[in-house]
């Protein structure tokens, strides 16, 4: 397992600057596996060792995993001069460098798209979920502008399952999409499961079928479902067990 310097761990867990941490160490307040440590360069395994400060346990985490129910009107960006960003919705305690690195988004959602957004410090997970080679599914619920008659729905479903051709949008050229699963709830409501994440892909697929998206929400990434208890703009941390149960790690 990868180890980290003790002063780095303490600093990243809210015990102040490296200078503050050294004072804490010199005072004999820090112990690793029951042994007092005064040296800042002692290496600790966050996944295996026990760390205490003044006798209280310090849970060490290498990575953070956050599920957010993104609301419309916020952008998936670190900074934006015109709109609020998803990072503006987070508590200030998340605005720091963690042991695993900086908190970042796993993919993006358009400004008017709601639903499941993952934020993490785990670059390995991000690569696995966003790589075209892994074919991780993303599930969306859609409301359409124009009602599709019952008799026309099977044909459109077949076009999506065959891999619908989409027109260029911005810098992203025309493209033959991979097979996707379209399910109808009514003439104006459906769900779509895709394994890609091209620019405005869902909207472009619907446009290629002669319709327009008026509401879009992502409800799942792989087997990880959006928590229905999360209100728009709310978030919570995910446990490793939740990620394991969803087959994401």
Give me the active site residues, please: 110
In contact, 225 and 233? CB cutoff 8 Å: no
Secondary element (H or E) of residue 214 = strand 213-221
Cα 61 to Cα 50: distance, rounded to the nearest angstrom:
12
- Please tell me whether residue 172 adopts helix, strand or coil conformation: strand
Cα 56 to Cα 30: distance, rounded to the nearest angstrom:
9
For residue 199, give the nearest of 111, 108, 123, 112 by alpha carbon.
108
For residue 233, give the nearest of 101, 70, 111 by alpha carbon.
70
Secondary element (H or E) of residue 102 = strand 101-102
For residue 112, give the nearest of 212, 199, 216 by alpha carbon.
216
Secondary element (H or E) of residue 53 = strand 51-53
- Please tell me whether residue 143 adopts helix, strand or coil conformation: strand
**Tokens 């008659």 -> residue:** 149
With a CB cutoff of 8 Å and minimum separation 6, the contacts of 18 are 7, 8, 11, 40
Cα 237 to Cα 225: distance, rounded to the nearest angstrom:
14
């Amino acid at each position: 397992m990868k180890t980290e310097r003790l002063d780095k761990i303490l600093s990243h867990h809210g015990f102040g600057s490296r200078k503050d941490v050294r004072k804490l160490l010199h005072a004999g307040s820090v112990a690793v596996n029951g042994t007092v440590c005064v040296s800042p360069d002692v290496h600790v395994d966050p996944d295996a060792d026990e760390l205490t400060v003044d006798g209280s346990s310090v849970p060490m985490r290498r990575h953070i995993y956050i599920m957010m129910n993104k609301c419309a009107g916020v952008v998936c960006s670190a900074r934006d001069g015109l709109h609020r960003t998803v990072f503006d919705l987070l508590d200030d305690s998340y605005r720091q460098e963690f042991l695993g690195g900086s908190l970042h988004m796993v993919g993006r959602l358009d400004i008017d798209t709601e639903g499941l957004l993952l934020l993490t410090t785990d670059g390995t997970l991000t690569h696995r979920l966003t790589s075209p080679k892994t074919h991780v599914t993303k599930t969306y619920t859609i409301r359409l502008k124009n009602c599709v008659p019952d008799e026309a729905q099977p044909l459109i479903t077949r076009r999506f399952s065959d891999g619908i051709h989409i027109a260029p949008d911005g810098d992203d050229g025309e493209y033959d999409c991979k097979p996707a699963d379209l399910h109808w709830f009514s003439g104006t409501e459906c769900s779509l499961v895709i394994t890609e994440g091209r620019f405005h892909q869902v909207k472009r697929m619907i446009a290629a079928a002669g319709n327009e998206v008026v509401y879009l929400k992502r409800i799942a990434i792989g087997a990880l479902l959006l928590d229905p208890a999360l209100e728009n703009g709310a978030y919570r941390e995910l446990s490793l067990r939740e990620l394991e149960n969803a087959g994401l790690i």
